[in-house]
Amino acid sequence: MSPLPRIDQRLAVGTGRRLVPGGPQVSPAEARQVVDSLYRHAARAAGHVREVTGLDAPQDSQVLVVDRRRWIEANVQSFSTLLAGLAEPSPGRRSGSSSASVQMGALLSYLATRVLGQYDPFAAQQGVPGRLLLVAPNVLAVERQLGVDPEDFRLWVCLHEETHRVQFGHARWLPDHLRLLLADVLAQADLGDPEVLGRLVRRLRPGARRGDGSLVDLLTTAEQRERIDAITAVMSLLEGHADVMMDRVGPDVVPSVRTIRHRFTRRRERGGPDRVVRRLLGVEAKLAQYRDGARFVRHVVRRVGVDGFNTVFTSPQTLPTLEEIHQPRRWLDRTR
């Protein structure tokens, strides 16, 4: 397999910033209020998450409230760090580097309109193990779209992202485990191959079969998909766990939590004009991760309680496989 091209951070960020649309129109005073509110709720979420998860993690991560452009910049930096050890230093790969950088910027410009928050465990710098990003324009846009209580919704979002921070903070081995799985996949993927773009265009043509897969399917071989299955299992676990725990906090803390969950789930599952783009980028597969992972978590917690479930964070060997995500009893039998 060809080595990965280096990511030109300036080109990737510039592409993403040019393509990403602006967020909701707000006054400077309202923008400051949203930012202050998100910082306040991020701090408040920590105690609630510690209580419902039974997990403990040091409060040593950055919390940043960002706009869409800053989110793109942060993710380009993180991806570049992740790919640095796999990149090809040869100047002969410069065209591949440009192609991959533009593709990355275009992809992030789309995702930057959808992400409410993100815990980035790969952003370790100067002893800080990671950073929690909250995308203020998207939080504001969705809370308006759903017609829900803004303060309740902002706290609810922070509960989800804080759960991710605690997962990685409690299981300090988890970022390296994910990094190794990703490295195995990416080391075999030639993201600068022009044929990838050709295959993508063919998938976008009118009349393309509805069963066509995501861009991930286009970039991977059967051997790579075994590693992708392992990554999918981990992400399903983490997303499902965060979804279940954010709701376990309950109406005493988030009075309108049931209304928010109902409306938010309905929004996740609906179709729309960007359905084909979501399918190609694997976004719909990510939505399935929330659903499948949450079912796994609920089943295990019902059987062995929160403390019994938390053994999942002991080591890579206690993580569920993708098959076990769909059949939780197999995980219980294996780990018992």
pLDDT digits (tens, 9 = 90+) for 84-136: 655 554 444 444 568 778 888 988 998 899 999 999 988 765 456 789 999 99
Give per-residue pLDDT as tens, 39-51.
999 999 999 999 9
CA dist 238 → 140, 163, 192 (Å): 25, 9, 30
Q: 61 versus 314: which is more confidently predicted?
A: 314
Residues counted in the chain: 336
> Strand 131-135 vs strand 4-5: parallel, antiparallel, or unpaired?
unpaired
What secondary structure letter does DSSP report for 319? S
pLDDT, residue 214, reads 58
Q: 10 versus 181: which is more confidently predicted?
A: 10
pLDDT band at residue 188 using 50, 70 and 90 as cut-offs: low
253 pLDDT higher than 50: yes
pLDDT, residue 226, reads 80
Mean pLDDT of all residues in the chain?
83
**Which of 104-113, 195-204, 210-219, 325-334 is the least confident region?**
195-204
Q: 272 versus 311: which is more confidently predicted?
A: 311
* Pair of tokens at residue 194: 């022009």
Every domain of the chain and the residues it spans: 4-335
CA dist 86 → 144, 229, 284 (Å): 42, 21, 28
Cα 271 to chain centroid, rounded: 20
* HSE of 128, CA atoms in CB hemisphere, 13 A: 11
pLDDT, residue 100, reads 77
CA dist 145 → 219, 267, 277 (Å): 35, 9, 21
The whole-model pTM stands at 0.84
User: Contact at 8 Å (CB) between 310 and 301?
Assistant: no
* Burial profile 273-293: b = 16 or more Cβ within 10 angstroms, e = fewer: eeeeebbbbbbebbeebbebb
Which H/E stretch holds residue 65?
A: strand 62-66
pLDDT, residue 82, reads 73
Report the distance separating Cα 111 and Cα 16, nearest Å. 10
Average pLDDT over residues 203-223: 55
Average pLDDT over residues 259-288: 64
Average pLDDT over residues 246-267: 92
Question: Any idea which residue has 């090809």 for tokens?
Answer: 88
pLDDT band at residue 211 using 50, 70 and 90 as cut-offs: very low
pLDDT, residue 72, reads 96
**Which of 63-77, 100-114, 310-324 is the least confident region?**
100-114
Report percent pLDDT > 70 for the chain.
76
216 pLDDT higher than 80: no
pLDDT, residue 242, reads 95
What secondary structure letter does DSSP report for 128? B
Helix (H/G/I), strand (E/B), else coil: 117: strand
pLDDT, residue 232, reads 86
pLDDT, residue 4, reads 54
Report percent pLDDT > 90 for the chain.
56
Average pLDDT over residues 182-204: 57
33 pLDDT higher than 60: yes
Average pLDDT over residues 171-188: 83
197 pLDDT higher than 70: no
